[in-house]
């Protein structure tokens, strides 16, 4: 087997094959970053909406809780097909990349909003009370008091989730999005050994996720040392 | 005209379970009113209502001649602009040092000039004996020091009415006096104050009037001498006897 791989390597790592792989890596990265980035923004918005008070906003809160509870429970692959068939059903032409991105946003919004909510709730009630009694509005309370303390609680699970999602984007290959796993499969189908193609694929996933993990750890340390408790 | 007037006010955390019922209270300008009574009698809840953290279910509150509408943002803002509260658990912002805790609301919320706020904060911290702790974070301070920062923070808001909610209850006994001394200084300056305290010696010394609360009602109000030496209500007699004995 080793001989076969050694024999294949020069043929495998040609200029065009390498570019093809790197492009796929770019797609995986784009799906993860855009999906989780938008998911963080929308997730924050959901938490903000969920914290509204008064009867007037009850429907908003019910919708948000329903959204979060449903989409945290649907497997990513199932959601991919739901988005695919829904867009087709409405006659909307969306690229496979677009469909994967929509599905990722839908799920990451639900997950990340829960991570952010848990972070906010870890901050003692008396911090909100003190801010409110001093006439802080909700935005000012979040900005000056809650967020600086909640970061530390939010970041570790958020980064764990981002890294997990890099891997989950592999499921988009099932639909034909040309991301890492799909491209590895294509090479495998062309006759390159599975060890070589998926081994390369594995290495590239590691190269993607390891820096993200390290970045998360550094951010944690920096925020932790800025005296939050 | 009383500085703070409360009439027939009821409040609850859960519907149907009144924590305060039919509260009538008048506090004159410059008066120091102490609320005493057993735990759970509604003293702290009354302070939360006064500072606008808990909207009452019914009743009226008038501050300096202006009725408070607890469901109107502007009215609430106005109320909180006049009152400041010091909490039992200090509630200092854990992510800010002492100076920032004191200056953040005046600069960021009231939008006052940073330099003058800072000068005032320095004077206030000096006054509560913490002139050397500007850069310390709350978790580096003792309970007594934190509570004195909280008092300085409340005063930096330049309140007309200062509310003190059991400010010494969370403190070790040897730290109680440093906080009470800080309050004594204020008491001498003629600020209107509503004080919840279990320190009866202190209550007797600084109060101009004392209100006894029990089960969400005000049982009796009077001068410290009347309440402690000649209580008229049975409930007050029992409470005072128990406290003074203990």
- We report the CATH number of the domain holding residue B171 as 3.40.50.300
What does the block give as tokens for B201?
Answer: 């010696």
Closest Cα to residue B66, out of B77, B78, B57, B56?
B78
Q: Is A228's CB within 8 Å of B52's CB? A: no
Mean pLDDT of chain B, nearest integer: 92
Q: Taking 60 as the threshold, does the pLDDT of residue B78 lie above it?
A: yes
| Cβ-Cβ contacts under 8 Å, B110 against chain A | 135
Q: Taking 90 as the threshold, does the pLDDT of residue B114 lie above it?
A: yes
Task: Tell me what pLDDT residue B45 has.
Answer: 95
Task: Tell me what pLDDT residue A227 has.
Answer: 56
Residue A127 touches chain B, beta carbons under 8 Å: yes
Task: Tell me what pLDDT residue A228 has.
Answer: 46
Task: Tell me what pLDDT residue A33 has.
Answer: 92
- Domain count within chain B: 1
- Mean local confidence (pLDDT), B171-195: 86
Q: Which chain A residue lies closest to B82 (C-alpha atoms)?
A: A134
pLDDT digits (tens, 9 = 90+) for A92-142: 888 989 999 999 999 999 999 999 999 999 999 999 999 999 999 999 999
Full residue range of the structural domain in which residue B234 is found: 4-91+159-245
List CB contacts of B220: < 8 A, sequence separation 6 or more: B211, B212, B227, B231, B232, B233, B235, B236
What does the block give as tokens for A24?
Answer: 């796929």
Q: Is B94's CB within 8 Å of A135's CB? A: no
- Strand, helix or coil for residue B110: coil
Task: Tell me what pLDDT residue A99 has.
Answer: 92
Q: Taking 80 as the threshold, does the pLDDT of residue B91 lie above it?
A: yes
Q: Is B94's CB within 8 Å of A229's CB? A: yes
Task: Tell me what pLDDT residue B148 has.
Answer: 93
- Mean local confidence (pLDDT), B116-144: 94
* CATH for A38: 1.10.3720.10
pLDDT digits (tens, 9 = 90+) for B200-240: 888 998 899 999 999 999 999 999 999 999 888 888 888 88
Q: Which residues in chain A come in under a pLDDT of 70?
A: 224-229
Full residue range of the structural domain in which residue A128 is found: 2-225
- Which residues of B have a CB under 8 Å from any CB of A? 51-53, 77, 80-81, 83-85, 87, 89, 91-95, 104-105, 108-110, 137, 139, 157
Which A residues 148-177 touch B at CB under 8 Å?
148-149
| Cβ-Cβ contacts under 8 Å, B84 against chain A | 133-134
Residue B99 lies in a domain: no
- Domain count within chain A: 1
Closest CA–CA distance from residue A56 to any residue of chain B (Å): 13
List phi, psi (to 5°) of B65.
Answer: 85, -10
Residue A122 touches chain B, beta carbons under 8 Å: no
Residue B131 lies in a domain: no
Closest Cα to residue A171, out of A89, A87, A99?
A99
């Amino acid at each position: 087997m080793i001989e076969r791989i050694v024999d294949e390597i020069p043929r495998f790592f040609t200029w065009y094959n390498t570019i093809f792989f790197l492009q796929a890596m770019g797609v995986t990265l784009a799906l993860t970053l855009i999906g989780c980035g938008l998911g963080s923004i929308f997730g924050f918005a959901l938490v903000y909406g969920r914290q509204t008070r008064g009867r007037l906003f009850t429907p908003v809160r019910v919708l948000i809780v329903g959204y979060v509870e449903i989409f945290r429970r649907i497997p990513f692959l199932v959601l991919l097909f739901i988005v695919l068939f829904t867009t087709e059903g409405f006659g909307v032409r969306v690229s496979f990349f677009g469909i994967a991105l929509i599905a990722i946003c839908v799920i990451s919004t639900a997950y990340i909003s829960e991570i952010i909510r848990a972070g906010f709730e870890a901050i003692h009630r008396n911090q909100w009370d003190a801010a409110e009694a001093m006439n802080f509005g909700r935005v000012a309370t979040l900005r000056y008091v809650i967020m600086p303390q909640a970061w530390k609680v939010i970041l570790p699970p958020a980064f764990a989730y981002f890294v997990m999602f890099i891997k989950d984007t592999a499921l988009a290959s099932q639909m034909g999005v040309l991301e890492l796993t799909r491209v590895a499969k294509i090479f495998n189908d062309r006759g390159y050994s599975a060890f070589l193609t998926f081994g390369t694929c594995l290495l590239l996933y590691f190269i993607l996720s390891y820096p993200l993990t390290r970045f998360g750890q550094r951010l944690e340390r920096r925020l932790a040392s800025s005296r939050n408790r | 005209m009383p500085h703070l007037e409360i009439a027939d006010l009821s409040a609850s955390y859960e519907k149907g379970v009144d924590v305060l019922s039919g509260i009538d209270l008048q506090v004159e300008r410059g008066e120091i009113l102490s609320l005493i009574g057993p735990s759970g009698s509604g003293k702290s809840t009354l302070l939360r209502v006064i500072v606008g953290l808990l909207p009452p279910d019914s009743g009226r509150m008038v501050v300096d001649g202006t009725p408070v509408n607890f469901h109107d943002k502007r009215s609430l803002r106005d109320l909180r602009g006049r009152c400041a509260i010091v909490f039992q658990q200090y509630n200092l912002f854990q992510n800010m040092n002492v100076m920032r805790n004191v200056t953040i609301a005046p600069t960021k919320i009231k939008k006052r000039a940073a330099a003058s706020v800072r000068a005032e904060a320095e004077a206030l911290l000096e006054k509560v004996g913490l002139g050397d702790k500007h850069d310390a974070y709350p978790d580096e301070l003792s309970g007594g020091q934190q509570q004195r920062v909280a008092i300085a923070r409340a005063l930096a808001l330049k309140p007309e009415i200062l509310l003190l909610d059991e400010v010494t209850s969370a403190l070790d006994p040897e730290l109680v006096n440093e906080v009470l001394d800080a309050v004594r200084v204020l008491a001498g300056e003629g600020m209107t104050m509503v004080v919840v305290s279990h320190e009866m010696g202190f209550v007797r010394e600084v109060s101009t009037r004392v209100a006894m609360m029990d089960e969400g009602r005000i049982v009796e109000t009077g001068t410290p001498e009347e309440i402690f030496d000649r209580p008229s209500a049975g409930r007050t007699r029992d409470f005072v006897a128990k406290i003074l004995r203990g």
